[in-house]
Structure 1
Amino acid sequence: MSGSKQLSTGDIFALGFMTFAFFLGAGNIIFPPLAGQQAGTEFYWAMAGFLFTAVGLPLVTLLACAKAGGGLPRMTRLLPKQIGIAITLAIFIVIGPAFATPRTSLVAFEMGFKPFLGEAESQSWILLAYSIGFFVVASGLALHRGNLIDYIGKILTPVLILLLLVLSITVLVNPQGTAAAPSGDYLTQPFTKGFLEGYNTMDTFGALMFGMLIVDVLHKKEISDTKLQTRYLIFASIIAASGLAFVYMSLFYLGVTSSELAPGAENGGKIFAIYVQALFGGPGKLILAAVVTLACLTTAVGLISACADYFNKLWQKLSYQAWVVVIAVLCAVVANVGLTQLIAISVPVLFALYPVAIALVILNLIVDKLPRPKSAFYLVLSVALLLALIDAVKVTGLVNKEAFDFAEALPLFSYGLAWLLPVTVALVISFFMPKKAEQAAV
């Protein structure tokens, strides 16, 4: 350990702030207000479910990354190489150029820039120009990843946290309404509905990527000792999770008290924008623009950097810098699909991949307790993927309900959690497999 540099206390907090900023992006802002409004008087249970998947799972995932010694590629090490690459690639594409990263630009545009446009007619061209500018800035920051702690952890995130504190305290002191009756699934299953809504933040996927990115940033800071890296990653995880929980609870409460102010809003972004305008009047647009743009920009930087790093290691014919540019261009193109359409397309994909990611995290946390780790990985992940695909096909609405008669017997199928009990059973079976030597490092 003596041969490795160490971070100062200030740098450790900056690392935690950077991690928090990477997570706090588009989904973190647009989904809690809508969930809070729809949950109404059942918001305590709904919020608990949401925090479970949107804060608890990412925290556990980062801890699993620390234990595995890196991010997603390290966590699939016990699988056949091609299968591990396929899982990793699918998650990186979803969290990168296909969905999550373009969404950062869309939310920044819809909430931070569009309110200043008035009734502009050619908003498609304005969106195109905005998305290009957004990803030019994001890729510019991503190209200097060695300085991410300094740029994001010490400069951008403290400004973002200050703005969020002002907003959160104002919401608590001066709520704009009271809780209404719950609607939809929140009426009968608020916890489960909140749990599933937490999928939309994609934070667990983000954690699988950011674990690797944080380790790389530490390398750039000349932190070479693996025990120190693990310790700093744990500190960063706790700081980020605490910040996320605070933001989510504030935005949830904002949504709960918004039923009179923004009734029937189609997404949380509109609720958030209307609420901020009601609280702060004219300056509200500026506050909204600053919060949303900073939050989305820092997340975009983290996602582009993590994706470029992985794709560069997978296909080294293109340099890291070249991958940054390629991913940024793809994101700018996809961003012009539109926010509502992008969310609709991404939901089935999330239902298919989230259970696999959750199972992978759990397996990495308990891998040293399993008598046959490789066999356990094969069994549990196969069960998770199979059942998750059934949930994903169901949620598309493209297949008649009669086609799922065979699956009705599965516990929690009607809740969109058909995978949960079978995966739990597979995990239990994994502990009772006959012990046998397996040639794989755990």
Structure 2
Amino acid sequence: MPKLKNQELLFIIFMLFSMFFGAGNLIFPAFLGNSAGEEMWISLIGFVITAVGLPILGVIAIGKAGSFNTLATRVHPLFAIIFPVLIYLSIGPGLAIPRAGTVAYEMSINPFLPEHLKGGSMMLFIYTVIFFLIVLALSLSPSKLVDRFGKLLTPILLILIAIIFVKAIFTPVSPYAQATELYTSNGFFQGFLDGYLTMDALAALVYGIVVVNTIRAKGIKDNAALSKYMLLAGLGAGVLLAVIYSILTYLGASVSSIEQLDNGAEVLTLVMNELFGPAGIVILGLLFTVACLCVSISLVISCGEYFSKLIPVFSYKVWATITAIVSFAVANLGLNQILAISVPILGMIYPLAIVLILLGIFNRYVNLSVYRVSIILTAIFSIIETINVTFLGKSLSDALSFIPLYDQGVGWILPALAGVIIGAVIGRGKSSVDEVMK
């Protein structure tokens, strides 16, 4: 039976890590540390659950199911079309890829522009043309993904972060400040919600099949061996992510007593300026560029492969090109506009992704009714809450606050659990009827 060499497994771990680790993964833990200050560790635990634990479980769930489509079909064939399309559009050209391109610009080019060019659209346009041409060029040969990420981009990324961390350890900036009010009263759950913003649990549903195909290309065909290597790759990438998030949270907290800022990009800029002076901004720009390239290439490949199978009238290369062009167009709307629409979208689809992942992990213990009822009830709650927040100015919040954990931002948990119980009862009832009919 074929086996992966240790070096091959390590490169797959590096590949998976770099596919997850983009702009948001740099920004959000740094902001969490800066805002949480003395409470950073409890907030970090919540963050790691959603930003590390769920993505790795997602990869494993896809490995167990065989594909995202197989997992989603357990709910309903129509759901297996609509939900994946929503996810691919969200983590692809509609949100995540453009966000990566604009963040890379804001961190690597904008700080060095003359004042009269900062905030202008022309420089963003020129930068994103170059950025997405590079992304597209490196996306047209997905079979080379392990070599590009595992052997080149990921080591560069890890070396840059290690240099920053070592410098911060030997020359600490300042003591931690008291946490802001939100993190003082609700540190764990706020960290849990912050982990949504990385979008990695959604990405896991997409990346899982990429990792499966990569392992299969190495000659691993047996399902048991495939599941084992998926588990090892997921755990390895998860450990790397958790370590890097801890470092970034520590860096954000280290400047919390100097200033508590409005976003993670500003936090990291302050950290790098304190540690390295003006040269730190150059290092930070390089770090963001590499991370954003990694995640953009991964997402273009994933979207290209998915849509070429969903609508095979166009080839993979055509769909990859379409994805890159649409991402370029959306990126030129600007970072603020992109971020403004991300929270309500993620708030609606993220709970569904979490429930689907957990059901996929425990598939042997649940029936199809559990999938259907729990997803339906979670979707109803998520849609109502999205409408409440986006269009009704939270006017329904008082009426919804009776739901346990609603005030903590995870009110969907009760509907999901109710769906599991109701689905289990329905499934057992169907089994009993079938036994009688026999």
Aligned equivalent of 1:238, options 206, 227, 235: 235
Conservation of the 8 A alpha-carbon contact between 2:405 and 2:411:
yes
Moved more, 422-431 or 128-137: 422-431
Give the drift of 1:87. 0.7
Aligned to 2:152: 155
Q: Counterparts of 1:243 and 1:338 in 2: how far apart (Å)?
A: 31
TM-score, length of structure 2 as denominator length: 0.94
Conservation of the 8 A alpha-carbon contact between 1:352 and 1:392:
yes
Conservation of the 8 A alpha-carbon contact between 2:372 and 2:423:
no
Change in 2 beyond 3 A, CA 1:436/1:317: same
Conservation of the 8 A alpha-carbon contact between 2:75 and 2:375:
no
Aligned equivalent of 2:84, options 85, 88, 109: 88
SS in 1 for 2:350: helix
Q: Counterparts of 1:394 and 1:431 in 2: how far apart (Å)?
A: 30
Conservation of the 8 A alpha-carbon contact between 1:69 and 1:230:
no
Alignment of 1:45 onto 2:45: no
Change in 2 beyond 3 A, CA 1:179/1:206: same
Amino acid at match of 1:337: L
Aligned equivalent of 1:7, options 4, 8, 29: 4
Change in 2 beyond 3 A, CA 1:176/1:391: farther
Aligned to 2:405: 412
Change in 2 beyond 3 A, CA 1:234/1:118: farther
Give the drift of 1:219. 3.8
Aligned to 1:142: 139
Conservation of the 8 A alpha-carbon contact between 1:96 and 1:303:
yes
Q: Counterparts of 1:218 and 1:326 in 2: how far apart (Å)?
A: 27
Q: Counterparts of 1:402 and 1:300 in 2: how far apart (Å)?
A: 37
Aligned to 2:200: 203
Q: Deviations over 1:248-301 (max 9, x none)?
A: 11111111121244x242210111122112211232133212211111101111
Amino acid at match of 2:100: T
SS in 1 for 2:143: helix
SS in 1 for 2:73: coil
Conservation of the 8 A alpha-carbon contact between 2:308 and 2:314:
yes
* Match runs of 1:304-319 below 5 Å: 304-319=300-315
Amino acid at match of 2:407: S
Q: Deviations over 1:4-33 (max 9, x none)?
A: x54321111000001000111011011111
Change in 2 beyond 3 A, CA 1:111/1:368: same
Q: Counterparts of 2:355 and 2:103 in 1: how far apart (Å)?
A: 30
Give the drift of 1:35. 1.4
Q: Deviations over 1:142-168 (max 9, x none)?
A: 111101101111111111111111112
Give the drift of 1:211. 0.3
* Match runs of 1:427-438 below 5 Å: 427-432=420-425, 433-434=427-428, 436=430
Alignment of 1:102 onto 2:95: no
Aligned equivalent of 1:282, options 254, 278, 295: 278
- Give the alignment's Cα RMSD to 1 decimal: 1.9
Q: Deviations over 1:335-378 (max 9, x none)?
A: 112222211211001010010000101111122112xx221111
Amino acid at match of 2:169: L
Moved more, 208-217 or 307-316: 208-217
Amino acid at match of 1:389: I
SS in 2 for 1:318: coil
* Match runs of 1:318-333 below 5 Å: 318-333=314-329
Conservation of the 8 A alpha-carbon contact between 2:35 and 2:260:
no
Q: Deviations over 1:145-200 (max 9, x none)?
A: 10110111111111111111111222233221222122132121110111111100
Conservation of the 8 A alpha-carbon contact between 1:50 and 1:196:
yes
Amino acid at match of 2:90: V
Q: How many residues align?
A: 431
Q: Counterparts of 1:144 and 1:294 in 2: how far apart (Å)?
A: 19
Amino acid at match of 2:373: L
Aligned to 1:383: 377
TM-score, length of structure 1 as denominator length: 0.93
Segments of 5+ residues of structure 2 without an aligned counterpart are none
Aligned to 1:344: 340
Amino acid at match of 2:376: S
Q: Counterparts of 1:98 and 1:293 in 2: how far apart (Å)?
A: 20
Conservation of the 8 A alpha-carbon contact between 1:145 and 1:217:
no
Give the drift of 1:435. 5.3
Give the drift of 1:221. 3.9
Amino acid at match of 1:392: T
Aligned to 1:425: 418
Aligned to 2:356: 360
Moved more, 78-87 or 315-324: 78-87
Moved more, 401-410 or 137-146: 401-410
Q: Counterparts of 1:206 and 1:172 in 2: how far apart (Å)?
A: 32
Amino acid at match of 1:377: Y
Conservation of the 8 A alpha-carbon contact between 1:46 and 1:190:
yes
Q: Counterparts of 1:81 and 1:192 in 2: how far apart (Å)?
A: 34
Aligned to 1:252: 249
Change in 2 beyond 3 A, CA 1:253/1:375: same
Alignment of 1:115 onto 2:111: yes
Give the drift of 1:222. 4.3
Question: Runs of at least 4 residues of structure 1 off by over 4 A?
Answer: none
Give the drift of 1:208. 0.7
SS in 1 for 2:197: helix
Segments of 5+ residues of structure 1 without an aligned counterpart are none
Q: Counterparts of 1:305 and 1:351 in 2: how far apart (Å)?
A: 25
Alignment of 1:183 onto 2:180: yes
SS in 1 for 2:92: helix
Moved more, 135-144 or 409-418: 409-418
Change in 2 beyond 3 A, CA 1:428/1:172: farther
Moved more, 146-155 or 217-226: 217-226
Change in 2 beyond 3 A, CA 1:187/1:314: same
Amino acid at match of 1:423: A
Q: Counterparts of 2:298 and 2:230 in 1: how far apart (Å)?
A: 15
Give the drift of 1:120. 4.2
Give the drift of 1:129. 1.2
Q: Counterparts of 2:13 and 2:75 in 1: how far apart (Å)?
A: 31
